[in-house]
Amino acid sequence: GDSVTQMEGPVTLSEEAFLTINCTYTATGYPSLFWYVQYPGEGLQLLLKATKADDKGSNKGFEATYRKETTSFHLEKGSVQVSDSAVYFCALNPNRDDKIIFGKGTRLHILP
Amino acid sequence: DAGVIQSPRHEVTEMGQEVTLRCKPISGHDYLFWYRQTMMRGLELLIYFNNNVPIDDSGMPEDRFSAKMPNASFSTLKIQPSEPRDSAVYFCASSFGWTGKSTDTQYFGPGTRLTVL
């Protein structure tokens, strides 16, 4: 069935470091792909998305490219800030029904 | 818009008691989702509604759980009787439907942290 696998955390980085959080997926057809972010004490919110192969989603300095050949959607940011500390979820919509399938989340800690 | 509203934000109860969680979706959204989040199992979809009608409740863990949506602006998730293993954060999310399908973006509420002693 459809699934999302993302790197386990926690990931700890110093401020201004380069960030990569890996995400791979299994799905038939042409899913849409997302990254959601959950700040402490809050619900999830959409960070970025891509709806077809080779699309790049971007927001708040974060980027991810839909790679169909490697079934990946890795999240990157060139220079992280303390305020980026949160849990990041990779997700997919198989576009067959109304559900979104979430990965288990990766906790990110940024040290000042 | 105030966003998705959930109440209460925190609930502490004793095993065997009935618990009711409440959700008000964003006005105009016609999809509503209930999720449960735990450290062990991550984020799980429990049930979702379209135009107040339950579409898929396959994620509801057992008969102790029930959900209703009596109108477009209100939904409840009830656990009766509650058990310690039900302790989790419960999220409600809503989205706008487009050509009969839910759009990609779900808007989450702040969650209800439930503790069953």
Q: Which residues pair with A67 in a beta bridge?
A: A72
Q: What pLDDT score does B102 carry?
A: 52
When scoring A6, A32, A37, A44 by the number of chain B Cβ atoms within 10 A, the one with the most, hence best to mutate, is A44
Q: Which residue of B has its CA nearest to A100?
A: B104
Q: How many residues does chain B have?
A: 117
Enumerate the residues of chain B whose CB falls inside 8 A of the CB of residue A89. 43
Distance CA(B67)–CA(B91), nearest Å, equals 13
Instruction: Determine, for residues B104 and A41 on separate chains, whether the beta-carbon distance falls below 8 Å.
Output: no
Instruction: Determine, for residues B106 and A46 on separate chains, whether the beta-carbon distance falls below 8 Å.
Output: yes
Backbone dihedral angles phi then psi of residue A71, each to the nearest 5 degrees? 45, 55
Taking 60 as the threshold, does the pLDDT of residue B14 lie above it? yes
What is the nearest CA distance from A83 to chain B, expressed in angstroms? 19
Enumerate the residues of chain A whose CB falls inside 8 A of the CB of residue B107. 45
Distance CA(B1)–CA(A101), nearest Å, equals 26
Mean local confidence (pLDDT), B74-87: 97
Tell me, yes or no, if B108 comes closer than 8 A to chain A by beta carbon: yes
Using one digit for the tens of pLDDT, what is the confidence trace for A96-105?
Answer: 677 888 999 9
Instruction: Determine, for residues A97 and B108 on separate chains, whether the beta-carbon distance falls below 8 Å.
Output: no
Using one digit for the tens of pLDDT, what is the confidence trace for B17-49?
Answer: 999 999 999 999 989 999 999 988 889 999 999
Minimal CA–CA distance to B92: which of B25, B3, B37, B41?
A: B25
